[in-house]
Amino acid sequence: MRVVVKVGTSTLAHSTGLLNIRHVENLCKVLSDIKNSGIELALVSSGAIGVGQGKLSLKERPSDLPTTQAAAAVGQCELMYTYDKMFGEYNHTVGQVLVTASDIEEETRRDNFINTMVRLMQLGALPIINENDTVATDEIVIGDNDTLGAVVAKAIGAELLIILSDVEGLYDKNPNRNPDAKLLHLVEEITQEHYDAAEGSVSKLGTGGMVTKLKAAEIAGANGCETIIANGNDPSILYDILEGKQVGTRFLAKKRNN
Ligand code: GLU
């Protein structure tokens, strides 16, 4: 089984932008264990800009492009250093894969990307993917890692995309404004109603919100890959997901042709 796990900045970092060591440590431990069980994993990790912001002592997320890109350069380094160290404790090797939209859109580059990803997994290494934020500008940007997660899942033919976030999943209305909002456990087909319910939920540290997660679930679903959105505060939730327990919101996929 091939699974893509996407983890957002709000799970990886505190609101200060500094790493949430407990979350990252638990995540690395659980993912290592899941890998040991024979599941092929790829991790799409945000956090470069958020962690760079913390490390450069910037008071808030930068708004201009050069500072954003500088923060990403610093934060990506810190992230990979931490992943390398923590996965290393469980005897796992990580590989950094940075992509931009054009790497996925252009056929030869996409083939190279897929070949590298597959080879990394064959070699037992864990690919950790992020957008190459230091060179991606508005015109060529994928923009958010929910979409990147779906793009990666499609490229490597994953069966499951798990988006870990700071929310439980998709609600029938915006839970910030409606205390009686109910968590949807299963979405068979994404409709405009789901988008309306998702409107207005944005993350402070990262870029995505529920809308980008729904779009990601649509891309994944169209390619035969299920998506589960769940709260990543306790990464052991990944065990429940893989054991088929009801957690978060599960989006069914269209049937695969192969
Ligand atoms: N690539 C961005 C980063 O690493 C994250 C984008 C997102 O939050 O979706 O900071």
pLDDT of residue 16: 86
- Burial of 14: CB neighbours in 10 Å, binned 0-12, 13-18, 19+: middle
Q: Which of 151, 127, 168, 162 is nearest to 244 (CA)?
A: 162
Q: What DSSP string runs through 172-232? A: SS-TTT-TT--B--EESS--HHHHHHHTT-B-SSSS-BHHHHHHHHHHHHHTT-EEEEEE-
For a pocket test of ligand 1, which of 24, 46, 135 has the largest count of ligand atoms closer than 8 A to its C-beta? 46
Distance 210 CA to ligand 1 centre (A): 15
List ligand 1's pocket residues with C-beta within 6 A: 8-9, 46-50, 72, 130-131, 133, 144-145, 206-208
**Residue pointed to by tokens 């930068």:** 62
pTM for this structure? 0.94
Closest protein CA for atom 2 of ligand 1: 46
pLDDT number for residue 17 = 86
The predicted structure's pLDDT at residue 207: 56
Distance (Å) from CA 31 to ligand 1 centroid: 20
CATH superfamily of 2-251: Acetylglutamate kinase-like (3.40.1160.10)
Q: What is the spatial distance between Cα 33 and Cα 29, in angstroms, rounded to a whole number?
A: 6
Atom of ligand 1 nearest to the CA of 212: 9
CA of 45 to the centre of ligand 1 (A): 8
Atom of ligand 1 nearest to the CA of 79: 4
Q: In this predicted structure, what is the pLDDT of residue 230?
A: 96
The alpha carbon of 248 and the centre of ligand 1 are apart by a number of angstroms equal to 22
Q: What is the pLDDT of residue 258?
A: 53
The sheet carrying 2-7 orders its strands as 94-99, 126-131, 40-45, 2-7, 160-165, 226-231, 249-251, 186-187
Q: Residue 206's pLDDT is what? A: 52
Mutational pocket test of ligand 1: of 82, 97, 133, the residue with most ligand atoms within 8 Å of the beta carbon = 133
- The minimum-distance atom of ligand 1 relative to the CA of 146 is 9
| Residue 126 CA neighbour count, 13 Å, CB half | 28
| Amino acid 121: pLDDT | 95
Amino acid 37: pLDDT: 97
CA contacts within 13 A on the Cβ side of 194 = 21
Q: Which residues of the chain have pLDDT under 50?
A: 204
Q: Tokens 């029938």 identify what position?
A: 172
